[in-house]
Structure 1
Amino acid sequence: MEGSTPTVDPGLAAALRGLADIVLPPPVSMLPQTWAWAVLAALVLLVIAFALWRWLRYRELNRYRREALSALRLIEQRIGAAQTRGTALAAVPVLLKSTALAVWPRETIANLSGKGWTGFLDAHSGGPVFPTAAAHFFEEAEYRGPAVLASVPEAEAKAHIAAARHWIEAHHVRS
């Protein structure tokens, strides 16, 4: 029986020849079929565009914070060495003042010093940001020279940097 091919029934062969392929329906269009879907798609696109615009605006308005934090990181790297600690600590109050000048009018910021300056910093941070030692440092740092500031212990200097970082990150700008 090997090698023999099965015989096809002539009636079956005629029935198979009479069959036609399955006719597939046309593909379904992915375009909206009603105007409501088009309106919904337009609204979704508008919401996405508005959210993107708000995010870009927020990012641009807070660019000064990123720049100040970057400068503070550079200052913080110089705190570790005793020979550069004084100049680094002298740069921290200058950085805070230039950060404040980026968003508040010069007339408001430029003449502040001492307790008025730390009061301003606390008032715009939502509460007291600076511990007593840090507040005292920021009140008097601009009147001390780098030689005097170099004698500040490293741990205390890092605490002052942390207070400055917290203010830069958390201060509130009221319109």
Structure 2
Amino acid sequence: MENASTLDPMAETALRSMRDIVTPTPVSWLPQTWGWGMLAGVILALLATWVFIALRRYRRNAYRREALRILETIQTDMAAPERRSDGVRRISELLKRTALAAWPRQSVAPITGDRWTAFLRGSVDDEQEQNLTSALALEYRASGEAMSDETCDEVVANARHWIEKHHVSA
């Protein structure tokens, strides 16, 4: 067999003078100026501050989460008509315990009756203030068994709303 193809001398010279492509050095991912480092530091500081504030708020609202868990058990107990009067009493007690956890004991503990309902109304800033007062008036009824299912659900909903939305003055 004959030699594959023979190249002309010019092509052979050109092929011998070829070299590999020289690639540039990779570009660094590190910022080249101090401003980018400063921006990264500010972002990290803001992120750390946000995490600190969120953690503090989470810990500060632990009493609300506990009160909502207790309210769920009271709500299941109130499903039975014979336990409704006890459930309303326990809701009132739960609201008082929640207030004692949020405000100083000296200012909340002695409050009863109309002053108590006024205190509860004053600590929530929306339209359900009056509903909460009427729900607490149910505690003083002679018999809780006369309460309908809708009334029980309203009492629980208003108590849940107060627990979630009350404002504690600093």
After TM superposition, the score normalised by the length of structure 1 is 0.85
State the match for 1:119 in structure 2.
118
- Out of 161, 164, 167, the residue aligned to residue 162 of structure 2 is 167
State the match for 1:153 in structure 2.
148
List gaps (5 residues or longer) in structure 1.
none
Tell me, in whole angstroms, the C-alpha distance in 2 between the residues paired with 1:80 and 1:4: 100
State the match for 2:71 in structure 1.
72
Deviations 1:53-111 (A, max 9, x none): 11111111112112111211221122222233332222100110111011111111111
Shift of 1:125: 0.6
Tell me, in whole angstroms, the C-alpha distance in 1 between the residues paired with 2:133 and 2:6: 104
State the match for 2:94 in structure 1.
95
Shift of 1:137: 4.2
> Cα distance 1:129–1:93, how it changes in 2: closer, same or farther (>3 A)?
same
Tell me, in whole angstroms, the C-alpha distance in 1 between the residues paired with 2:80 and 2:13: 98
After TM superposition, the score normalised by the length of structure 2 is 0.87
Shift of 1:170: 1.1
Tell me, in whole angstroms, the C-alpha distance in 2 between the residues paired with 1:164 and 1:4: 98
**1:168 aligned counterpart, secondary structure:** helix
CA RMSD for the aligned pairs?
A: 2.3
Shift of 1:117: 0.7
Tell me, in whole angstroms, the C-alpha distance in 2 between the residues paired with 1:114 and 1:7: 112
Shift of 1:129: 2.9
Tell me, in whole angstroms, the C-alpha distance in 1 between the residues paired with 2:158 and 2:94: 13
Q: Contact 2:135 / 2:154 at 8 angstroms: preserved in 1?
A: no
Give me the identity figure in percent: 38
List gaps (5 residues or longer) in structure 2.
none
Q: Which amino acid letter does the alignment assign opposite residue 126 of structure 1?
A: D
Tell me, in whole angstroms, the C-alpha distance in 1 between the residues paired with 2:37 and 2:98: 47
> Cα distance 1:72–1:14, how it changes in 2: closer, same or farther (>3 A)?
same
Q: Could you tell which deviates more after superposition, 65-74 or 43-52?
A: 65-74
Say if 2:56 is the partner of 1:57.
Answer: yes
Deviations 1:121-143 (A, max 9, x none): 001112563446x52441462x5
> Cα distance 1:6–1:88, how it changes in 2: closer, same or farther (>3 A)?
farther
**1:150 aligned counterpart, secondary structure:** helix
